[in-house]
Amino acid sequence: MKATWNGVVLAESNDTVMVEGNHYFPDSALNRAFFTFSNHKSTCPWKGQASYLSLLVNGELNADAAWFYADPKPEAEQIRGRVAFWKGVKVTD
């Protein structure tokens, strides 16, 4: 699977985990040069608290376009150490 935005590959891996229609990429698959801080958080009743990352590609910011669960609830343990995308990021195989 490959995650792209604004013409750049953000992550690529054959080892994604699908949860609720989203591919979660291993943290090691991210091209960290395009990720930047976000202080946004949200809570899922069964996964726990999500933290977000923003994208900065070719001078364009895509705020809170990636998320991860640093300490997921036991039911969501399979996504620990993984990142998913939204907000226009294309995930293709």
Q: How confident is the model at residue 16 (pLDDT cuts 50, 70, 90)?
A: very high
Q: Please state which CATH number belongs to domain 2-92.
A: 2.170.150.40
Q: What is the reported pLDDT for 76?
A: 98
In the chain, the amino acid numbered 1 is M
Q: What is the reported pLDDT for 85?
A: 98
Per-position DSSP letters for the chain, written without gaps between them: -EEEETTEEEEE-S--EEETTEEEEEGGGB-GGGEEEEEEEEEETTTEEEEEEEEEETTEEEEEEEEE-SS--GGGGGGTTEEEE-TT-EEE-
Q: Which residues pair with 17 in a beta bridge?
A: 24
Q: What is the reported pLDDT for 26?
A: 98
Average pLDDT of the residues in 56-77? 98
What's the rounded Cα separation, in Å, for the pair 71 and 92?
27
Q: How confident is the model at residue 55 (pLDDT cuts 50, 70, 90)?
A: very high
The model carries a pTM of 0.96
